[in-house]
Chain A
Amino acid sequence: MTIRRAGEHGLLVETGTTAVAHRLDALLRAERPREVEEIVPGQETVLVVAPGADHDRLAARLVTLLDAASAPPAGRYEEAAEVVEIPVVYDGADLQAVAELTGLTAREVAERHAASEFVAGWLGFAPGFAYLVGLDPRLHVPRLETPRTSVPPGSVAIAGPYSAVYPSASPGGWRLLGRTDLRVWDVAADPPARLAPGTRVRFVP
């Protein structure tokens, strides 16, 4: 595990796994060292942006926190993490195509998606767009060859090893399995995103 420089203000901590990235993120947020502006978990990293900080001292602190994050009591953090249940109607435009690609029936696709235990890995693409990891391997399918120009908000979709809920209307190349009424993004709410990194997610038909 390494800490890499990301410019004058940033340190990129390699965590090896998403779970350790989430634990380090939680420890850092609880402690919130002065001058830390952004803590950004990635798939196997945490970017810490801290303008004006003494980076040698910050790096030393990060090493200590990373040690703690790498050796937690088994399962404790994950069990403590919040579970968000997302009600979903499986009537997506690509449900049948996913069934054909996977050799399952549409009903089986929906059942396997709802049975998957997801964790919000990291966010990107759009505000509130969480890459949900933990998709049943039988449902790993490629993106659409031609992305849609507009996907409605609340669309529940999959691509590769990930699932997601589109937080707002946007173009998109993921395959649509269904839709939810739960708002995962609301600028008037605090926090504005329902699915922060580390949040556990279950889809409920």
Chain B
Amino acid sequence: MIEVVSPGPYASVQDLGRSGYAHLGVPRSGAADAPSMRLANRLVGNPEAAAGIELTFGGALLRFAAGAWIALAGAPCPVDADGRPAGMCAPIWIPAGGTLRVGSPREGLRTYLAVRGGIGVAPVLGSRSTDSLSGLGPPPLSPGTLLPVGDAPVTAIQVDVAVQRPIPPCAAVRVVLGPRTDWFTPGALKSLGAEPYEVASESNRVGVRLRGAPLERAREGELPSEGMALGAIQVPPDGRPIVFLADHPPTGGYPVIGVVAARDVAVVAQLRPGDRLWFKPAGSPWTTGSPAGL
């Protein structure tokens, strides 16, 4: 059992999410920076889809009733493993009764903790993830939360330390235009690629809200509700884009000017309020993107 003494600003159990239910109105959820969650799991010999803990702005203190191998990946934080300094992206042994203290990240936003065997809370619709939009899954961690260690099938721990991708405060993010690029003026397309956007503080696991040049629409009216993809750049009437993260609603009625390339969604998920991002075309020209292969 793991006791959450303090969860930090916001922490939740996450795995790779509940896929296959979007048509029933269920967000996918799962780790916002999935590659970091997968890495932490690999480091302790877990299946990549095992459930771990997603910390936001670090700052957590956990107590382990039984000894456990753990690893941290994602936003790099100072780590104190039962009184000894320890590092990111490396398997760490916490003895029975020992504590794990995670400080604030030097850069980036979300830090992932994997425990050998996984977090064993009850799955809901095939996933142990907390869905902050719909409330499915376990509640976010709070002081006193007890988390069972699971029995995910494990393999031998093979690596002493891993190198993690850099997590910069300014990121260039690739975008595939569409599906609703035609709802915007040519000027909006130019703005999207011209100036950096700043991450607003109202951002969360549902989406990253951006401040910067508003994107002007070429037409009035409402878009009939349609399915939304992970990484969609949705543009509400005020013209300020929102990039959808793991807990995004599965359908929506605001036009999507483009979708962040799959590998770059994790980059967006690590941006803090005040960080900046540039959008750049994923393919060659900015202006392709309508019919796929037709």
Contacts and interface: CB of A to CB of B under 8 A. Distances in A.
Given A38-B22, A47-B227, A192 B125 contact: yes
B294 A59 contact: yes
Interface in A25-52: 25, 37-47, 49, 51
A56 B293 contact: yes
Contact of B23 (A11, A41, A129): A41
A45 B26 CA distance: 18
Interface residues of A, number: 48
Interface stretch (B3-11, B185-193, B249-257): B249-257
A131 interface: yes
B113 interface: no
A47 B230 CA distance: 12
B22 A40 contact: yes
Contacts of A60: 293
B225 A124 contact: yes
B260 interface: yes
B289 interface: yes
Contacts, number: 149
Nearest to A7: B259
Nearest to B249: A124
B226 A192 contact: no
A95 B136 CA distance: 31
Contact of B178 (A4, A9, A122, A126): A4
Contacts of B226: 12, 42-45, 47
Nearest to A36: B20
B23 A196 contact: yes
A4 B261 contact: no
A187 B136 contact: yes
Contacts of A126: 25, 134
The interface residues of chain B, by DSSP majority, are classed as loop
Contacts of A63: 294
B126 to A, nearest CB: 10
B290 A127 contact: no
B24 A4 contact: no
Contacts of B286: none
Contacts of B25: 123-130, 167, 193
A4 B294 CA distance: 9
A122 B251 contact: yes
B293 A55 contact: yes
B83 interface: no
A111 interface: no
Contacts of B256: 6
Contact of B179 (A6, A37, A59, A197): A6
A4 B179 contact: yes
Contact of A40 (B136, B224, B251): B251
B154 interface: no
B229 interface: yes
Interface string A7-31: 1111110000000000001000000
Contact of A12 (B134, B225, B227, B294): B227
A122 B26 CA distance: 12
A3 B227 CA distance: 13
Given A123-B250, A124-B249, A196-B24, A8 B282 contact: yes
A42 B224 contact: yes
B260 to A, nearest CB: 7
Contacts of A73: none
A75 interface: no
A7 B224 contact: no
Most central of B179, B282, B294 by chain A CB within 10 Å? B179
A79 B135 CA distance: 36
B292 interface: yes
25 contacts: A3-B291, A3-B294, A4-B178, A4-B180, A4-B291, A5-B178, A6-B178, A8-B259, A38-B20, A38-B28, A42-B224, A47-B226, A47-B229, A49-B227, A59-B292, A59-B294, A122-B225, A122-B251, A123-B25, A124-B25, A125-B25, A127-B24, A129-B25, A187-B124, A192-B125
Given A4-B290, A124-B225, 7 more contacts: A5-B178, A7-B229, A7-B231, A7-B259, A7-B261, A9-B229, A127-B24
- The 4 A-B pairs of least Cβ separation, nearest first, read A47-B227, A7-B259, A40-B227, A42-B226
